[in-house]
Amino acid sequence: MSTETRRFSKYELRERLGQDDLVETWKAFDTQLQRYVVIKFPHTNLQNDPDFLKRFEHGAKVAVSLNHPNLAQIYDAQVARSSKSGSTNPYIAVDYIEGQTLADYIHNTSRVGNFPSISDIIYIFTAISSAVDYAHQKGIIYCNIKPTNILLDKHNTARCSVGEPILANFEVPTLCGNSSNVSMETVPYISPEQARGYPGNEHSDIYSLGVILYEICAGVPPFSSENPTDVMMQHMKAAPTPPEQLNWHIPPALSKVILRSLAKDPMARFPNASTMAVALADAFNRPTSVVSTRPAPVTPLPLQSSPPKRRRRKPLLIALIALLLLLLASSGLGAFVHFSRPTSPVVANQIVGHAYFESSGQFIENSTNGINDKLHLIMHNISSPALGKSYYLWLLSDKNQKPTTFILLGTVQVNNGNVDSIFRTPQHTNLIATTSRLLFTEESTNLAPSSFSTNLSTWRYYAEIPQTYPSPGVPHLTTLGFLRLLLFEGTKLAAQGLHGGSAIRLLRNTGKVLEWASSARDEWDLKNFPLMHRHFIRILDYLDGLPFVQADLSPRTPVLVNPILAQNGLVTVIPGDNPEAYTPRIAFHILSALEAAHGLFSSDKVQLALEVDKDVRVNLEYLLQLVRRDAKQLVTMTDGQLAQRSTLSLLNEMLTQANYAYAGQFDPVSGHLQGGALNDYNLIQTIASFDIFPCPGSQCTVK
């Protein structure tokens, strides 16, 4: 459509709003009905397709018939034909919605840490889910759901404080067909199957909704990169960072909803959008009705919702909501409570702060990137650098490595004697892989150093992970070596094609067991017994490991999981026969790291290591064995037995134990969460943290 055209049929074209791969969009005025509309003109290259007009006219009948309060109303979809020139001009006239997009809203709220209220989150997703399911029932698959296509009607705020959510552009794929090109704007929300080049389906739309829910709750999308190809690869292969690691206030129940909607397997996602919305409301124990005219009370996301009303799954929901306190332990920040904050003046050999490795989660299975690729620095009661100088933060290679290699993380900002900063590497490099020492130097602000200084007079603060060798009789690895087995790479695991360290394998595999247990429980409501049976097999594959799973499954049972990821089980199946299972392997590495430290660990770290060892070796093993016991019983049941009401209790029990194994259990006496693979992983990162000392001092004498 030429930008010079100002009049079209009964419409006056007032403002060109933009264009994408399929259409050019205008704000227009309907001179007959005296209202503003949006006019969309398909691009000329689409019209060159000889079947386009036929497809457009057929789709117009479907599009105009759509009538849902949360779909932009399509008023007109026609092919205007000029009697003089014989040319054809297809166009679509859609309701003009005045208000910001959901993308704008997320940018101004979640992206800056000001998360929306629970009521608004639930309403937005319930309304949009209703619209998506309505369209699916009409045979329309969107395949392009993203925040820029969701408008918030600022003139309709009766049920949502930010504006009634309206899904726009639903008519474009219906009338114009799906574009073979994927825009930069679409890539963050594309499903794995679409990224592989397959056509989208209903479950693809569920995935896109899950990405949006992740972004609005965590503040960032699950996958990101400057290279769109990298993002598409992450959608296909990478596991998203559990959202509670990015926003401490996300309850585990909500995290489960988000991660299920982002399952790589389309059939493992929610069966429809409304089921996802109900699960979202259940996570906060809120209703999902979109017809009420009274807005719900506004509760910010960081606050726990009110006590649950009596529901069929009340015991499980109470357990999940109680786990809200996990959020203080499910990131590097949760570990800080294990160390006391210094309040006295700084002196040599006194700890003045800590630095913790954290993970961005930009993890692809065949690499170690995205794990321990951030450094969180916390310091107190330190002086600011001299005038004209800055503190520079370096990570250095091991003491016995010559020459010394280094990474300059940047300058350190001191605010009233305190530091609280996160440093990242652009390539998501696993920092513990090649570095083990931390150094502050004080040098000129105007002339940034290109290399760390070996001049001790410039050194201000220093830390290192213990690198002494253990006493005779102990395997010949240093504390640092054992921590790298846990958090970076193990020779045995690498030979199996498993990367990232045994601790991340424990965390991810336990998370998958929880995901399958949750899916099996939900499929019981839908009476989808074949899928339930497949989930039980998957659970046992991961718990036992493929070399030992025949102890629980028939030899003819097919492998339903990635055979590489299931090479090592989570638990011991036959005592003494599978020491490579992750729970005994990790417990051994933790105790070995502690023994090799030779008293160089603080008392806090010693206690922490002993607690993690006990939890992994005893508590986590026990909980996963309970899940295994239930899965072994369920996998042998017929469809008729699975349909019995008594099976529901067994499913709920298995799900509860799997949730405890992943997220931990709330102790009402201490008021803390205890155990769980997620908490244990973060505490292992804490064991590998830096205790920072001022220079000069005995710690600062090693170059």
* Dist CA 171 CA 138 (whole Å): 12
Per-residue pLDDT, averaged over 669-691, amounts to: 82
Phi–psi pair at 17, nearest 5 degrees: -90, -20
Per-residue model confidence (pLDDT) at position 330: 33
What value, to the nearest 5°, has the Cα angle with vertex 403 and ends 402 and 408? 125
Average pLDDT of the segment spanning 414-443: 90
Query: What pLDDT is attached to residue 339?
Result: 39
| DSSP string of 75-118, one letter each residue | EEEEEEE-TTT--EEEEEEEE---S-BHHHHHHHTGGGT-PPBH
More confident residue, 325 or 697: 697
pLDDT average, residue stretch 122-150: 89
Domain limits at 144? 97-306
The residues facing 406 across adjacent strands are 396
State how far the Cα of 44 lies from the Cα of 21, in Å rounded to an integer. Answer: 11
Written as one letter, the residue type at 308 is P
- Same structural domain, 268 and 357: no
pLDDT band per the 50, 70, 90 thresholds, residue 643: very high
- Would you state the structure tokens that stand for residue 518, as one six-digit string? 């949750």
- pLDDT above 50 for 562: yes
Q: Is residue 599's pLDDT more than 50?
A: yes
- The predicted pLDDT at position 666 comes to 61
User: Is 11 a member of any domain?
Assistant: yes
Ranking 43-47, 231-235, 267-271, 626-630 by mean pLDDT, the lowest is: 43-47
- Residue 80 forms beta bridges with which residues? 89
pLDDT band at 310, cuts 50/70/90?
Answer: very low
Q: Which residue has the higher pLDDT, 701 or 366?
A: 366
Interacting residues of 8 by C-beta distance below 8 A, sequence separation 6+: 1, 28, 39, 80, 89, 91
**In the listed set 91, 109, 136, which residue is the last one of a domain according to the structure?**
91
Who has greater pLDDT, 444 or 74? 444
445 and 496 share one domain: no
Asked whether residue 226 is domain-assigned, the answer is yes
Has residue 315 been placed in a domain?
no
Roughly how many angstroms between the first and final C-alpha of the chain, as a whole number?
69
Instruction: Tell whether 533 and 644 lie within a shared domain.
Output: yes
For the record, the structure tokens of 339 come out as 């160390």
Q: Residue 145 pLDDT > 60, yes or no?
A: yes
Is the pLDDT confidence value at 45 over 70?
Answer: no
**53 part of a folded domain:** yes
Domain boundary among 30, 63, 91: 91
Specify whether 50 is located in the same domain as 175.
Answer: no
Shared domain for 484 and 557, answered yes or no, is yes
The C-alpha atoms of residue 31 and residue 471 are separated, in whole angstroms, by 89
Domain tally, the chain: 4
- Could you tell me which of 123, 266, 131, 135 has the C-alpha nearest to residue 193? 266
- What strand order describes the sheet that includes 437-444? 406-412, 389-396, 437-444, 459-464, 690-694, 353-358, 374-379, 419-424
645 and 545 in a common domain: yes
Contacts of 646 (CB under 8 A, 6+ apart): none
Band (pLDDT 50/70/90 cuts) for residue 284 is confident
Alpha-helical segments (H) within 138-201:
171-176, 192-195
Of 633, 406, 589, 400, the residue nearest 492 (C-alpha): 589
Which has the minimum average pLDDT: 344-348, 378-382, 591-595? 344-348
Q: Which pLDDT band, with edges at 50, 70 and 90, does 577 fall under?
A: confident
Amino acid making up residue 598: H
- Residue 418 vs residues 288, 439, 480: alpha-carbon distances, Å: 44, 17, 28
**pLDDT confidence tier of residue 241, bands split at 50, 70 and 90:** confident
| pLDDT averaged over every residue in the chain | 81
pLDDT tens across 13-27, in order?
888 887 766 678 888
458 plus 503 within the same structural domain: no
Q: What pLDDT score does 602 carry?
A: 86
Contact yes or no for 500/586 (Cβ under 8 A)? no
Boundary of a domain, candidates 65, 91, 117: 91
* % of the chain surpassing 90 pLDDT: 43
Same domain, 166 and 268: yes
- Phi and psi torsions of 600, nearest 5°: -85, -10
- Which pLDDT value is given to residue 628? 97
Distances (CA, A) of 392 to 439, 448, 503: 8, 9, 31
CATH value at residue 216: 1.10.510.10
Residues 154 and 70 in one domain: no
**Does residue 326 form part of some domain?**
no
Which is nearest to 163 in space by CA: 175, 154, 173? 154
Task: Establish if 314 belongs to a structural domain.
Answer: no
**Cα separation, 378 vs 622, whole angstroms:** 35
Q: Which residue has the higher pLDDT, 57 or 580?
A: 580
Q: Give me the CATH number covering residue 9.
A: 3.30.200.20
Position 410 pLDDT exceeds 80: yes
- Our measurement of the distance from residue 79's CA atom to the centroid of its chain's CA atoms, rounded to an integer in Å, reads 44
> What's CA 353's distance to the chain center, in Å?
29
CA distances from 521 to 254, 490, 654 (A): 16, 35, 9
pLDDT tens for residues 62-81?
A: 777 788 899 988 888 777 76
Q: For residue range 149-178, what is the model confidence (pLDDT) as tens digits? A: 999 999 898 888 899 999 987 756 555 555
Label residue 48 by pLDDT band (50, 70, 90): low
Question: CB-based contacts of 189: which residues, under 8 Å, 6+ apart?
Answer: 145, 146, 147, 208, 211, 212, 221
| Residue 635 tokens, joined | 């996998």
DSSP 345-383: PP-TTS--EEEEEE----B-TTS-TTSS-EEEEEE-S-P
DSSP annotation of 619: I
Task: State percent of the chain over pLDDT 70.
Answer: 81
Range 416-429 average pLDDT: 85
* Cβ pair 219, 241 in contact under 8 A: no
Rg (CA), the chain: 28
| β-bridge mates for residue 694, sequence order | 461
The reported pLDDT for the residue numbered 530 is 94
Evaluate whether residue 630 is within a structural domain.
Answer: yes
Using alpha carbons, list the distances in angstroms from residue 279 to 256, 302, 519: 9, 19, 12
Whether 573 and 447 share a structural domain: no
Which of 240-244, 351-355, 483-487 has the least mean pLDDT? 240-244
Is the same domain home to 82 and 101?
Answer: no
Instruction: Report whether 510 contacts 568 (CB < 8 A).
Output: no
Answer whether residue 330 is part of any domain: no
Q: Which residue has the tokens 């949760």?
A: 334
Tell whether the model's pLDDT for residue 396 goes beyond 80. Answer: yes
The answer on 169 and 132 residing in a single domain is yes
